[in-house]
Amino acid sequence: MGIIMVILGLLLIIVCICSALLRWNQMRYSKKGLPPGTMGWPVFGETTEFLKQGPDFMKNQRLRYGSFFKSHILGCPTIVSMDAELNRYILMNESKGLVAGYPQSMLDILGTCNIAAVHGPNHRLMRGSLLSLISPAMMNDHLLPKIDDFMRSYLCGWDELETVDIQEKTKHMAFLSSLLQIAETLTKPEIEEYRTEFFKLVVGTLSVPIDLPGTNYRSGIQARNNIDRLLTKLMQERRESGETFTDMLGYLIKKEDNRYLLSDKEIRDQVVTILYSGYETVSTTAMMALKYLHDHPKALEELRREHLAIRDRKRPDEPLNLDDIKSMKFTRAVIFETSRLATVVNGVLRKTTHDLELNGYSIPKGWRIYVYTREINYDTSLYEDPMIFNPWRWLEKNLESKSFFLLFGGGARHCPGKELGISEASSFIHYFVTKYKWEEKGGEKLMVFPRVSAPKGYHLRVLPY
| Known binding-site positions for heme | 415
Residues of 212-221 as b/e, b for ≥16 C-beta within 10 angstroms?
eeebbbbbbb
Residues in contact with 344: Cβ distance below 8 Å, sequence separation at least 6, in sequence order: 280, 281, 284, 285, 288, 338, 452
Closest CA to 284 of 128, 448, 123: 448
User: How many other C-beta atoms are found inside a 10 Å radius of the C-beta of residue 109?
Assistant: 29
Task: State how beta strands 356-358 and 347-352 pair.
Answer: unpaired
Give the Cα separation of 287 and 165 in Å (integer): 10
Spatial distance between the Cα atoms of 32 and 1, rounded to a whole number of angstroms: 49
Instruction: Indicate the annotated binding residues.
Output: 415
